[in-house]
A and B are shown apart, each in its own frame.
Chain A
Amino acid sequence: MDYTYPSVFLSYFLFFLFLFGAIYFCIRSFRRGYWGGESEDVKFHVFDEGDKPNGR
């Protein structure tokens, strides 16, 4: 039994699954405002002092 074609087609299947997933989430990122005028606010999350380490 030669598994070459099933294995290659499995890889193609995974590839297209992730390709369509990427297209879907890319379009969704437009709808969620990541490309609009307010999209720069998110970069200040890095400085949000919610990160109190070890109860300090």
Chain B
Amino acid sequence: MEEQQVIAEKTQGSTAGAVTRTVHTDTTSKWFLISSVSYFFIVGIVAILLAAKFVWPELLGTVSVLTYGRLRPLHVNGMLFGWLLACDMGLAFYYVPRLCGVRLWSEKLGCATAGLWNIIILSAVVELLAGHNQGLEYAELPSWLDLLVVVAWVMFGLNIFMTIANRKYTQMYVSLWYTMGTILWTAFVYLTGNLAVLFATGVNQANLNWMYVHNAVGLIFTPVGLAIAYYFIPKASNAPLHSHRLSMIGFWSLAFVYVWTGAHHMLHGPISQWLQTIAIAFSVMLLIPVWTVVYNFFATMKGQWHMVRENVPLKFLMSGVVFYLLTCFQGPMHSLRTVNAIVSKTDWIPGHAHMAVLGAFSFFAIAGTYYVLPRIFNVELYSNALANWSYWFLMIGGLGFFVTLWLGGFWQGWQWNNPSIPFIDTVVALKPVWIVRFFSGILMFAGITTFLYNFMATALSAKGRSAA
């Protein structure tokens, strides 16, 4: 109650003298969200097929477009760029103008960006299924699509930066810092990982590629994911952020620490020992920004935890925070040479990666989508019960997936470290793990389906109402 009074007083203070309220049309945000949630569902089908292929390798026979080698890059790129980054961009188009107290600089440019982004994703589907693949992790897209991504990103960045430049407040909330960081860091990470890497060879190429892969998560999806969490946790819980100064420590420590960690993917590989040691040291230092972020979120929720029971966006947000803490504890531990010798290249890695990208950042994106959906379409959410179902499907399916793969990965790693066990025996031994993975995937897909249905039903009810 006391905090709500403070919010009311501060809000009155900051809007005193305002004659008119800013009206947001949110057209860009709607287009990005509609397309991203649709890709989440479509690429989810691909994910199920891939999980099934682990259990039944002969599934879908030898049809080339349906082989594992074609579907896997489609799943990775589709989820990262078709679903998650597009959804994050849609949410950024929602919260950036509001945090700046002005309208989006250009809705037309925003809609053009959404159109170009859809052309890129649909072209990527065709190219990847046709087998046109650069053969580099996360950088599979052909160069002409990479260039279109750069163009789209410049359009996105220009719109966001111009909106921020026109802001009515002098100081910027932490979500704006993280969003600007995402735009600039993506320029560096994407250009290095997709263009510079093509001209390098051997170990240098591998090193650049792993720097890109790790920073795609750490300097693209992490900052924009945290920007979303920093905006929606106070909004959904109706409580101000515990400490803005602490959030600044988190931001700057992420900025200075994260970029050095990529080489921990090359531990025990043919790169210099000093480079491996630097990557390990900075990976462990990541605990600093992670803990500042997580402490800030938990402290913000003090006295507000009862709201998690009824509030679906808050459920997703706080579960995402817990997954963020867990995955960011795993990361530094995995970068230690002794642990890495067991889990590297095993199924532990997809368990860890899915907890980051799905458990933390997709949960933040889903929470943001559920929060903005009734507001941008100006209608009630179609079904709160269905939203709850989508949460539990994704939560239970996700936990089954993550935990099974961590345990299976350790088991696999210990077997690989025993030279008396033939490799094929280690593959056969993991079949029970992959069966659980498949059924966990079915549950997660049920969560995605209910999320999509709820989203579309809400959007269509708004359309029907405006037609009437």
Contact = CB atoms under 8 A, between A and B. Distances in A.
Interface in A9-28: 10-11, 14-15, 17-19, 21-22, 26
Interface of B: 7, 10-11, 14-15, 18, 21-26, 98-99, 101, 168-174, 184-185, 188, 191-192, 196-202, 204, 208, 211, 231, 234-235, 240-241, 243-245, 248, 252, 255-256, 259, 375-378
B192 A14 contact: yes
Interface of A: 2-4, 6-8, 10-11, 14-15, 17-19, 21-22, 26, 29, 32-35, 39-56
Given A33-B171, A42-B172, A55-B23, A47 B376 contact: no
A4 B208 CA distance: 11
B288 to A, nearest CB: 15
A44 B11 contact: yes
Considering residues B23, B171, B375, which has the most beta carbons from chain A within 10 angstroms of its beta carbon? B171
B234 A43 contact: yes
A47 B244 contact: no
A34 to B, nearest CB: 5
Given A4-B201, A21-B184, A34-B171, A47 B234 contact: yes
Nearest to A44: B10
Given A18-B184, A45-B173, 13 more contacts: A3-B200, A4-B204, A7-B198, A14-B188, A34-B244, A35-B248, A39-B248, A44-B14, A46-B241, A47-B240, A48-B101, A52-B23, A54-B378
Give the secondary structure class of B's interface: helix
Contacts of B184: 18, 21
Nearest to B248: A34
A49 B11 contact: yes
A51 B378 contact: no
Contacts of B21: 49-50, 52
Give the secondary structure class of A's interface: helix
A20 to B, nearest CB: 12
Nearest to B8: A47
Nearest to A48: B14
A18 B255 CA distance: 10
Contacts of B23: 52, 54-55
Given A42-B172, A46-B231, A51-B98, A14 B191 contact: yes
A46 B24 contact: no
B244 A40 contact: yes
Contacts of A8: 196, 200, 204, 208
Nearest to A46: B234
A53 B103 CA distance: 11
Contacts of A56: 378
14 contacts: A14-B191, A33-B171, A34-B248, A42-B169, A45-B14, A45-B173, A47-B10, A49-B11, A50-B15, A50-B22, A50-B168, A51-B22, A52-B24, A54-B376
B208 A39 contact: no
A23 B259 CA distance: 14
Contact of A26 (B14, B172, B196, B252): B252
A53 B98 CA distance: 10
Contacts of B15: 48-50
B370 to A, nearest CB: 15
A21 B10 CA distance: 33
B240 A43 contact: yes
A11 B26 contact: no
